[in-house]
Amino acid sequence: MTAPPVARRSWIDVAGLAGRPLSVRVLTATVAAAALILAVLGALLPVDRPADRPLTPLAGAALAAAVVAAGQLARLRFRLGRGVVSVSWGEAAFIIGFVVAPPGWLPAVTLAGAVAAWALLAWWESLRNVAEVVHLAASLSLGAAGAAVVAGAIAGGAPVLGARMVTALVAGALTYLVLTFGLATLTLALHRDAPAAQILVRASYAKVPMVVGNVIVGLAAVVALVENPLWLLAFPPALWLLQRTYRFHLRAEEERRLWEAFAAATATLPGGTEIEVVEAGLRAALDVFGARRVEIEVRGRDGERRYAQDGPGQDNAVAGLPGPAITRSMAVDGDLVGELTVWLSEPTLPVPRDESAISAFGDALAGALHDAAARERVAELSGQVAYETRHDRLTGLLDRPTLLAEGDQLLRSFDRRRHVALLLLDINDFREVNGTLGHRHGDELLRLVADRLTELTRDGEMLARTGDDEFALLVPRVVPLIDSSAPADVPLSDSMPLALRRARELVEELGRPMEVSSVRLAVEVAAGVTVAPAGRADVAELVRRASLALQEAKRQEVTVAAFDAGQDAVTTDGLALLAELKEALAADDQIVLHLQPAVDLITAAPTGVEALVRWQHPRRGRLSPDEFIAKVEHTELHTAFTRRVLDLALDAAGRWHAAGVDVPVSVNVPARSLLDPSFPAQVRDALRRHHAPASRLVLEITESVAVSEERIVDDVLAELRGAGVQLSLDDFGTGYSSLAIVTRAPVDEIKIDRSFVDDMIESPAAGAVVRGAVELGARLGVRVVAEGVETTEQRAALIELGCPTAQGYHFCRPMPADRIVQSLTQLSEAAPANIRPLRADDAS
């Protein structure tokens, strides 16, 4: 049987330098070399002993070495960061040694005494760190060398008990303190055991009181040696009392610091996740206990987890873990949370205060970990509940309410003109699967279908289970399956074919065989498809339309069918429109006017303003009259709506008249208004409310209404003219009998339809219609306004034909009411002074 190989250790491991920072290694080597050199040089100096020295050089050197060793053996230690600082009787040993031994020998004597003392301590406490012993002994030797130089320079040949010698001894002791204290501080700072400021403050607090006693004891011992050595017999009790006093002082300060740090650390334990609590606990334990290493083992429902952190400046993987380890179980109300293990840097057995503090810290950490676990469990349950309330439990897909709610949010984030599609897919004859294989296997089939659909779903699309065997796919980008890089804004004429193609591709993929309970099945799927602009329908309406298309696919026994608006005369938007219009009339900011001036063709001076009504819908955006006027005309809201439009128009006209622009406002009159005998009274009431003359208002009517056979129309028009309100014939040339209208219902203005203005440059026929309308207006003495003028060529052609007034984008686009006054004022001021706008009075 072969013996296991013995691991070979490097000289760095043997010397105890493993795991120590490079800067500390360099400092150790430098201090040791300097101490050795000074010890050798000092020993070679000539011995010049004054006659009053109490002992011979060799006896004095032996006594000095013994005193140095005794002073180090009686050291007191306190924890500083992750290091341990020793305070000893070194100053007293120096004072005695300077008197009894040759000063030049003190570095060597101190080095020998310190090495002997620390070697004995290392053996007694089972420590094998040679580097620390050498570093400490060399630091004391350097302190003694510096102190001997200072004291020797001051004392000269002064007698032992003279004032000059006392001064020299005190100065030497202080020099010894500064040098040894400075080297210790530098070592700890390089070792990163604690911040430099903390080292200076705490070490000074511990060391200064002992230095005073050391100096007094040293001087007293020198007096006893010179006067009567028997007096030294009284020193042990006094030294014992001083030692106890120093120990109590350090112990009280250490405990105060420990519990202050403990309170600060436990108060900052976070109320977050387990990782956050553990990380904070590791940092706090390292700081509070000055530990070399801290380990936390957490036991939870999902097993055990171990966390650890080493103190800075220590490579524990190389140097091992010297020092005692304290392990404490962490529990809350008898429930085990984990274990806390702290490796202390103090190379002695744990003292009760450390055990008590670590136990208390473990209790606080256990409470924080228990709370973190409880919070994580609550968050997990809350997330599970939130997930289950949004998802179908069987398939994990979104459920119907979530699709409707989140789908509407998605649609509102799009441009309202962007086309979206909704595909509704249903498994044909699903009941036969349940009846043949059982509901459990039917559920398995649904999960397989859901998984396959999930694989086919693209980014941004929403997939949901909306029924027993029904699935919905909201497609925000209507593009082919094989071309996901295609643009999202596809024209309406192309959207439906692309959506149908996508549906057929999905149906084909779902039709591939799948295995359910060892039975290979190939299901048939039908799909209904609808496409609409994002601003025209909500998801509920899209689902309803797709459902109608799905029914049609099943009726025709085809796989895919598209929604046909002809099959559905009423939509949810239509049903909701009246209720939403009531809310709009109750609000102040939904029914608005956009105003477009009509101008003199030559001077561009304003001659009138047309009021164009808009509905600022909160969900669907701005709606034009074509999208809601027809609904309004056939409901009881007609009167309130007309009143609102007249109020808005006359209010706007009042503002520009107040600004000095004297032009009327034109308002389109719905067909139902001319069939309402009370309409003239409504107009007169509106004029009275706004203190406006009747000439300020122009009512635009269409030819088809004006030539109606209804007698009431003639009466309403006559009453309006009798009240002084101007009438305008809108869209002239497109109605039933344009010439008959001007004789049956005299008007003040004719507006040539924009279709003729658009074509007049290239179409002689359209140009003839425009010329005829201009000539007719001139002969009848009414204003003529050409609508839809957009180019300079159209303006020039109209001027050539003698048309006096025009309206269109070429001059001014429709604008909100709060901007019209400025535009009218600018047009008026820019027009030549000798040209004035046409009015109804000027046409007679």
Q: Which has the minimum average pLDDT: 58-67, 504-513, 829-838?
A: 829-838
Higher pLDDT, 518 or 527: 527
Average pLDDT over residues 727-742: 67
**Most confident listed range (291-295, 702-706, 783-787):** 783-787
Q: Tell me the pLDDT tens digit for each residue of 768-783.
A: 888 988 988 888 888 9
Output the pLDDT for position 182: 80
In 130-242, where do the E strands start and end? none
Question: What is the 3 state secondary structure string of 225-237?
Answer: HHHCHHHHHHHHH
Higher pLDDT, 389 or 499: 499
Instruction: Give the number of other CB atoms < 10 A from CB of residue 321.
Output: 15
Q: Tell me the pLDDT tens digit for each residue of 795-821.
A: 999 998 889 999 999 888 899 988 988
Residue 227 — very low, low, confident or very high, per pLDDT cuts 50/70/90?
confident
Average pLDDT over residues 591-600: 91
Give the N- to C-terminal CA distance of the chain in Å, as an integer.
Answer: 134
Neighbouring residues of 227: CB distance < 8 A, sequence distance ≥ 6: none
Token pair listed for 567: 């099959």
Average pLDDT over residues 255-278: 69
Q: Please tell me which residue in 627, 787, 790, 800 is annotated as part of the active site.
A: 787
Q: Are residues 34 and 142 in contact, defined by beta-carbon separation less than 8 angstroms?
A: yes
Q: Are residues 687 and 655 in contact, defined by beta-carbon separation less than 8 angstroms?
A: no
| The residue type at 101 | A
Instruction: Give the number of other CB atoms < 10 A from CB of residue 629.
Output: 17
- Whole-angstrom Cα distance, residue 422 to residue 416? 16
Instruction: Give the number of other CB atoms < 10 A from CB of residue 156.
Output: 10
Higher pLDDT, 382 or 646: 646
- For residue 812, the Cα-to-chain-centroid distance in whole angstroms is 46
Percent of the chain with pLDDT over 90: 15
Of 335, 334, 330, 323, nearest to 307 by C-alpha is 330
Residue 55 — very low, low, confident or very high, per pLDDT cuts 50/70/90?
confident
Output the pLDDT for position 667: 92
- Whole-angstrom Cα distance, residue 122 to residue 62? 22
pLDDT at 273 over 50: yes
pLDDT at 211 over 90: no
pLDDT at 482 over 50: no
Average pLDDT over residues 70-79: 68
Helix, strand, or coil (residue 709): coil
pLDDT at 749 over 80: yes
Output the pLDDT for position 842: 40
Output the pLDDT for position 484: 46
Q: Tell me the pLDDT tens digit for each residue of 610-634.
A: 999 998 888 778 888 877 887 787 7
Output the pLDDT for position 126: 55
295 is catalytic: no
User: How many residues does this entry show for the chain?
Assistant: 844
- Whole-angstrom Cα distance, residue 134 to residue 620? 85
Q: Are residues 490 and 419 in contact, defined by beta-carbon separation less than 8 angstroms?
A: yes
pLDDT at 413 over 80: yes
Percent of the chain with pLDDT over 70: 78
Average pLDDT over residues 301-307: 82
Neighbouring residues of 781: CB distance < 8 A, sequence distance ≥ 6: 843, 844
Q: Are residues 600 and 550 in contact, defined by beta-carbon separation less than 8 angstroms?
A: no
pLDDT at 693 over 90: yes
Output the pLDDT for position 179: 86
Q: Tell me the pLDDT tens digit for each residue of 533-574.
A: 887 778 888 999 999 999 889 888 899 999 887 555 445 566
Residue 735 — very low, low, confident or very high, per pLDDT cuts 50/70/90?
low
pLDDT at 384 over 50: yes
Higher pLDDT, 116 or 505: 505
- Whole-angstrom Cα distance, residue 548 to residue 401? 19
Average pLDDT over residues 324-345: 82
Neighbouring residues of 619: CB distance < 8 A, sequence distance ≥ 6: 412, 535, 538
Neighbouring residues of 610: CB distance < 8 A, sequence distance ≥ 6: 595, 596, 597, 598, 665, 666, 700, 807
Written as one string, the DSSP assignment of 118-134 is HHHHHHHTT---HHHHH
- For the chain, what is the mean pLDDT? 78
pLDDT at 1 over 50: no
Q: Are residues 28 and 131 in contact, defined by beta-carbon separation less than 8 angstroms?
A: yes
Residue 596 — very low, low, confident or very high, per pLDDT cuts 50/70/90?
very high
Residue 9 — very low, low, confident or very high, per pLDDT cuts 50/70/90?
very low
pLDDT at 688 over 90: yes
Residue 318 — very low, low, confident or very high, per pLDDT cuts 50/70/90?
very low
Average pLDDT over residues 389-400: 86
pLDDT at 175 over 50: yes
Higher pLDDT, 518 or 597: 597
Output the pLDDT for position 707: 53
Average pLDDT over residues 1-17: 44
Output the pLDDT for position 152: 83
Output the pLDDT for position 737: 45
pLDDT at 422 over 90: yes
- Whole-angstrom Cα distance, residue 681 to residue 689? 12
pLDDT at 684 over 90: yes
Does the CA dihedral 806-810-816-822 come out positive or negative?
negative
Does the CA dihedral 156-160-161-166 come out positive or negative?
positive
Residue 742 — very low, low, confident or very high, per pLDDT cuts 50/70/90?
low
- Whole-angstrom Cα distance, residue 164 to residue 148? 15
Average pLDDT over residues 416-445: 83
Q: Is the pTM of this model over 0.85?
A: no
Higher pLDDT, 136 or 267: 136
- Whole-angstrom Cα distance, residue 716 to residue 749? 18
Higher pLDDT, 27 or 126: 27
Instruction: Give the number of other CB atoms < 10 A from CB of residue 364.
Output: 18
Average pLDDT over residues 413-429: 88
Residue carrying structure tokens 């112990």 = 251
Whole-angstrom CA distances from 814 to 697, 711, 810 are 18, 35, 11
